[in-house]
Structure 1
């Protein structure tokens, strides 16, 4: 049997994705049932219990395949990046109308109707996928109407086929967002989550974790002496960490030092991080 990364392939000793039959050993193989995330943010955990670690998150409108649903937990695989884990079954809904738009600002509110004076009924992160069924205007503010009857500010969404031209500019929109281990939303995000979400908004789908990104995004880059040759958009990796270059001297990253998405001088960061964790382990140019 070929070795498989359990983060990206749904297999356990007792159960596995039917597409993996003949490639992994399992007592039973099942086809995944299509479902869609219906919560603003869904934690993907490494075990089916509420105190288990959060590996990543999915957003409202993300499509998943469900391989098991038992005792309040669903074992799923995200279709966008292939990540496998457990979510509370309450965050799953049916796939009905196809999403037409995505949230294009870091965070936005849902309203029970097209009026910003209504108490919000929810909130959504950048990257959330919604289906727009109509439009309304109240006191000069334009709203998109959703199948639930709720409304979102029209200027906070864009068509699903429309990509941002610069993923670094998207990442910069998250400056000041709290750092959250496993976070992948505008409410809290980690280093590789920032890279993935920014690239997603620019129309590029990449893997979730920094070790995956360090071997799959773009091409390997070898800077010159004193890190010469780095440019906007290049990725810098440390063991367990990734940052995005804004320009040859400055990077942006979600980090546990400031507990925020922050700008930092690249050489200053190399010195600071190196004191505890060593120097950069690699560079990639998307």
Structure 2
């Protein structure tokens, strides 16, 4: 049978996605049920345990297919990028209503009502999807109203299908966001998560992990040892790492060196990273 990446296909020895029947071995095949993420940020883990590492995250409003729910965890596959993993079943919400808007600011607050002086009732990351049912204005500030009666600053939202003109500018808006392994939100993000979130806000769905992006995003570039000819938006890959060029000489990346999303000169990064991990493994133009 075809070897399939378990990060992108839901199959285990005991259970598998019905769509994979005849392609993988499993004791039982099931048709998953649709759901959406109801939590602000849901950690998608490698195993159904709270001490299992975070592979990625899903944001409020994201669509998933649920194949199993047991002992407090759900085994799901994300609709946007196909990633498979386990999340707390309390992170799941109703499939309806569908989001009408998404958060465009790096982070924002949810209030119990349309008044910023009220104590916040939640927080949301860039990219989170919301259902807006109306608007209200208090002391000159416009709010988007949610089905729960809660409110979000309207200026922090955009239409769910809106696309930013420059994905690099989206990444730049996340400068100083803390580094978080597996993170893909305005609260914490890793290198490939930064690429994925920024491109998603620009209307492009891309795969999650660095190796996936290095194999599929755009076209490879042959730049030679001098690394000349890079443009804004080009990607630089190392083993297990990716950075976004902001111009021919400077890049932005979520990195474990500063533990932040930060700018760095490409040549400085090549020297610094090469000491431990070697030189770039490739360049791609999305």
* Band of TM-score, shorter chain: over 0.9
Q: The residue matched to 2:246 in structure 1 has which SS?
A: strand
In structure 1, what is the equivalent of residue 258 of structure 2?
A: 258
Cα distance between partner residues in 2 of 1:225 and 1:10:
41
Aligned to 1:121: 121
Other-structure match for 1:139:
139
**Correspondence for 1:19:** 19
Name the residue aligned to 2:275.
275
Q: CA deviation at 1:161?
A: 1.6
1:174 is matched with 174
Tell me, in whole angstroms, the C-alpha distance in 2 between the residues paired with 1:235 and 1:148. 41
Q: 1:29 aligned to 2:29? A: yes
Shift of 1:197: 0.1
Task: Give the match for residue 82 of structure 1.
Answer: 82
- Alignment partner of 2:280: what SS? coil
Residues 113-138 of structure 1, C-alpha deviation per residue, up to 9 Å, x if partnerless? 00000000000000000010000000
Alignment of 1:130-279 (within 5 A): 130-279=130-279
| Matched pairs, number | 286
User: Secondary structure at the residue paired with 1:247?
Assistant: coil
Distance 1:73 1:97 in 2: 23
Give the match for residue 3 of structure 1: 3
Q: CA deviation at 1:224?
A: 3.9
Matches within 5 A, 1:53-72: 53-72=53-72
- 2:47 and 2:159 map into 1 onto residues whose CA distance is 35
What SS is found at the alignment partner of 2:76? strand
User: How far apart, in 2, do the equivalents of 1:5 and 1:225 lie?
Assistant: 33
Q: What secondary structure sits across from 2:226 in the alignment?
A: helix
Partners of 1:99 and 1:221 in 2: CA distance: 38
Provide the rounded CA distance (Å) in 1 between the counterparts of 2:48 and 2:66: 14
Q: Secondary structure at the match of 2:262?
A: strand
Matched with 1:41 is 41
Which secondary structure does the structure 1 equivalent of 2:161 belong to? coil
In structure 2, distance between residues paired with 1:98 and 1:109:
20
Distance of 1:216 and 1:261 partners within structure 2: 23
TM-score, length of structure 1 as denominator length = 0.99
In 1, the alpha carbon distance for the partners of 2:204 and 2:247 equals 21
Q: Distance in 2 between matches of 1:37 and 1:225?
A: 45
Q: CA deviation at 1:199?
A: 0.0
Q: Which runs of 5+ in 2 are unaligned?
A: none
Structure 2 length normalisation: TM-score? Answer: 0.99
Paired with 1:234 and 1:81, the residues of 2 have a C-alpha distance of: 21
**Deviation per CA, 1:41-87, whole angstroms, max 9, x where unpaired?**
00000000000010000000001000000011100000011000000
Q: Secondary structure at the match of 2:67?
A: strand
Secondary structure at 1:57's aligned position in 2? strand
Does the 8 Å contact 2:61/2:98 carry over to 1? no
Maintained 8 Å contact 2:164/2:202 = yes
